[in-house]
Amino acid sequence: MKKICVHIVIRVDELMQELLKRTSYMAVSLSPDETATEGWSDRWILTGDELLWARDRMQEAYDRINGVVSAYLSETYVPPIQEDVFNFVLVLPEELSSGTDGVVKRTVREAFISYVLFCWYIDRIPDKASYQMSLFEENLNLLRVRLNRRRVPIRRPVRS
């Protein structure tokens, strides 16, 4: 059975840019202060100062995602460990549906983002934290489904 190799590279700076976009939240002020004018707003932002904190959460997400894709990880090629990059080298069957590699990459990226946002929201806006955790778990389930979807049925040897 032929195999294809998919190298997934997730860069910390790309994740941080997306996290900054998604945490820039403008809302009507909850301040009881009479001096607040209409349109005044609070801003929730994951700042660049929180990069070390975010990297720790990204490492936690990497470990959880690694558990899902572990059956597909390459045993022969282990990418070098880099500080600002998360690597996955997956060996997938050729019978996988076309375009699956792109969907797998996007799903892994979204899983990283939703996990870090879950951890970030848990301290700031707990109501949104459960939604982010459900997105993370949904991305892990979607990843499992994508990795198991085939164009042709799986044939296992049968003893006669």
Cα–Cα dist 111/132, whole Å: 10
Cα–Cα dist 16/23, whole Å: 10
> What's the pLDDT at 40?
44
> What's the pLDDT at 60?
94
> What's the pLDDT at 120?
86
Q: Is the pLDDT of residue 97 over 70?
A: no
| CA triple 96-104-137, angle to 5 deg | 120
User: Which is higher by pLDDT, 77 or 17?
Assistant: 17
Q: Is the pLDDT of residue 134 over 90?
A: yes
- Span 102-132, pLDDT tens digits: 888 999 999 999 999 999 889 888 888 999 9
> What's the pLDDT at 148?
80
Q: Which of 104, 88, 112, 87 is nearest to 149 (CA)?
A: 104
Q: Which of 113, 92, 67 is nearest to 7 (CA)?
A: 92
One-letter amino acid for residue 141 of the chain: N
Task: Work out the average pLDDT over 144-153.
Answer: 76
Cα–Cα dist 23/64, whole Å: 23
Indicate the domain borders of the chain: 3-27+42-148
- Span 2-56, pLDDT tens digits: 777 888 899 999 998 888 888 776 555 555 555 555 544 445 566 667 788 888 9
CB 124 within 8 A of CB 42: no
Query: Which DSSP helix (H) or strand (E) runs through 129?
Result: helix 126-148
